[in-house]
A and B are shown apart, each in its own frame.
Chain A
Amino acid sequence: MTAGYAHPLERPLPRRNALLRGRWRERSVLPGFPLALGITLAWLGAIVVIPLTALALRPWDAGLGGVWATLTSPRVLASLRLSFGLSALAALLNLPLGLTVAWTLERYAFPGRRLLDALVDLPFALPTAVAGIALTALSAPNGPLGQLAARVGLKIAYTPLGIFVALVFIGLPFVVRQAQPVLAEFDREVEEAASTLGATSAQRFWQVMLPALAPALTSGASLAFARAVGEYGSVIFIAGNMPMQSEIAPLLIVTKLEEFDYAGAAAIGLAMVVISLAALAVVNALQAVLAARSRPGATT
């Protein structure tokens, strides 16, 4: 779309609020705005806003003290620590794993590359309950991976290690899919310039590639983390679900609901939403810093 429109109507719509100038919306010849926005708001209100209002208000039935008592009970604290801690660890491990996969898929030509590329999305495509029982069958003491692990004295299924494996499984595609476009578009001349200037491959990786990849890797890891924190189906089969040891926070919500402790369940749910949003805000800030640094000329 270049300048010189034959007709004023061909002018592209302004991208930002530049033309709003006090009005709440830009005039348009197109019909249906009130209807479309009305449907959108009604649906979001019914499916997201009203239910979340219930989530935000219900915990206080038990009063501030009740919420505090629920959230600081050892079992709840242990489950929150387990969910958030293991999710962070899994996201961290997915950084090198995801980068390796993305790097191989983007930088090398080999037969079967497209198949491998398609396989990356399988953890998204496989329903969580299916992934859960499959990972459990693999890593149970009599499963192929479980037997392998037993040789080095490790137990995967029914331990926190099993939860960790499931969280790595569901998080991997996020990091790969975020890193791939950056690797594909990375200017090879910059790399070549670095090597002409005498940089070793290690220096090129750590000082040229990694800073450019950092924002994408951060957002991939944070998406993987957010998904892992709330993950239920692929975890509960492999977890063992022992209170204080291998009981994730979402499972504790289900347990509280089964005991008809609605306020307690809502308190844990609300705490998870709040902690997740806070973690996302931190990651967004970190990402802004990394993006500013990775801009050409901004590094030392």
Chain B
Amino acid sequence: MSAVRFSGLAPLLLAATVLVLGVLVVMPLGVVFAEAFAKGVGPYLAALKDPDALAAIRLTLIAAAIAVPLNAAFGLAAAWAIAKFEFRGKAALMALIDLPFSMSPVVSGLVWVLLFGAQGWMGGWLEDHDIKIIFALPAIVLATVTVTLPFVARELIPVMQDQGADEEAAAVTLGAGGLTVLRRVTIPNVKWALLYGVLTCNARAMGEFGAVSVVSGKVRGLTNTLPLHIEALYNDYDFVGAFAAASLLASLGVVTLVVKQGLEWRYSGELAAGRRR
């Protein structure tokens, strides 16, 4: 064997990589659009203009519009406490933040049914007071919030830990109040990481299927989010409709990916993901 670094293998490895990514990644993305436009542009647009599809899009946007800001605010608070201060129990707190990552989405939905479902801990009380949580918007938001809870926090914590607390401390000694420091020092320093975290959080929130499917009740036009609408149409063998709806979410995924990559290439030093590389 020569001393050259495995160079004879290079074409083989490249071919294998292209094959793996082609079959596992490019083909699934391609088939979504191929199936969506299988009968032409007319049926595609008709599928998206269907009232149930529009209702599903609206519900998905509403759920994400509530869940993402909540988890972004939580992420900022958690990162402020964890990255800027030293206290006992920090490791346990971070493990708790990570926990939703290692839970099945179905379990993330199940826990809310156990609390608020008809036979859940608070089910009877909620029924007496005519409050609907399960099979309605509140549970859809709660399930989405559970699944997407770590995204912003996990992005901000390492970045803010690396930046330390020196700049904030300087601002405070110069007389700045807490909110001013947050607004003028901390957030400008982590703006790209925050954007990155919000983007990935939003993509997951809009695309979440398992957790939401457990709590939604799947009433068409009422409690179906876009991913659930896809399932309903697919199970009806309405493939153009299912893939047309899927093409919206696939586009969201691709746009998120492109912006994410752009951020990683330009601001890699200011992102947790960039530093991993």
Contacts and interface: CB of A to CB of B under 8 A. Distances in A.
A234 to B, nearest CB: 9
B105 A205 contact: no
Interface stretch (A64-72, A260-268, A289-297): A260-268
Interface residues of A, number: 105
A201 B1 contact: yes
A146 B221 CA distance: 34
A251 B23 CA distance: 26
Question: Which 5 residue pairs of A and B lie closest in terms of their CB atoms, listed nearest first?
Answer: A127-B207, A230-B104, A51-B111, A232-B210, A25-B87
B210 A36 contact: no
27 contacts: A9-B169, A13-B86, A24-B89, A25-B85, A25-B86, A31-B178, A33-B85, A40-B74, A43-B77, A51-B112, A107-B5, A108-B14, A118-B261, A121-B257, A126-B29, A128-B207, A128-B210, A130-B250, A130-B253, A143-B31, A188-B5, A201-B5, A232-B213, A253-B106, A253-B110, A257-B113, A260-B118
A272 B260 contact: no
B114 interface: yes
Given A33-B87, A257-B117, 14 more contacts: A30-B168, A43-B149, A51-B114, A55-B107, A126-B207, A127-B208, A181-B277, A201-B5, A201-B6, A230-B103, A230-B105, A232-B105, A233-B209, A269-B110
Given A100-B13, A103-B13, A232-B209, A260 B104 contact: no
B165 A30 contact: yes
A10 B178 CA distance: 18
Give the most central of B18, B28, B102, B103: most A CB within 10 Å.
B28
Interface residues of B, number: 105
Interface in B9-25: 9-10, 13-14, 16-18, 20-21, 23-25
A257 B146 contact: no
Nearest to A233: B209
Given A205-B6, A262-B120, A127 B209 contact: yes
Interface in B240-264: 242-243, 246, 249-250, 252-254, 256-258, 260-261
Given A13-B165, A30-B84, A260 B119 contact: yes
A154 interface: no
Nearest to A262: B119
B128 interface: no
Given A32-B178, A201-B1, A131 B28 contact: yes
A123 B24 contact: yes
Contact of A145 (B27, B89, B93): B27
Contact of B209 (A51, A128, A191, A260): A128
A127 B82 CA distance: 30
B37 interface: no
A226 interface: yes
A130 B31 CA distance: 10
A276 interface: yes
A257 B118 contact: no
Contacts of A29: 169, 172-173
A130 B246 contact: yes
A131 B165 CA distance: 42
Contacts of A273: 103, 107
Contacts of A131: 28
Contact of A168 (B16, B24, B73, B214): B24
B103 A254 contact: no
A250 B106 contact: yes
Nearest to B147: A47
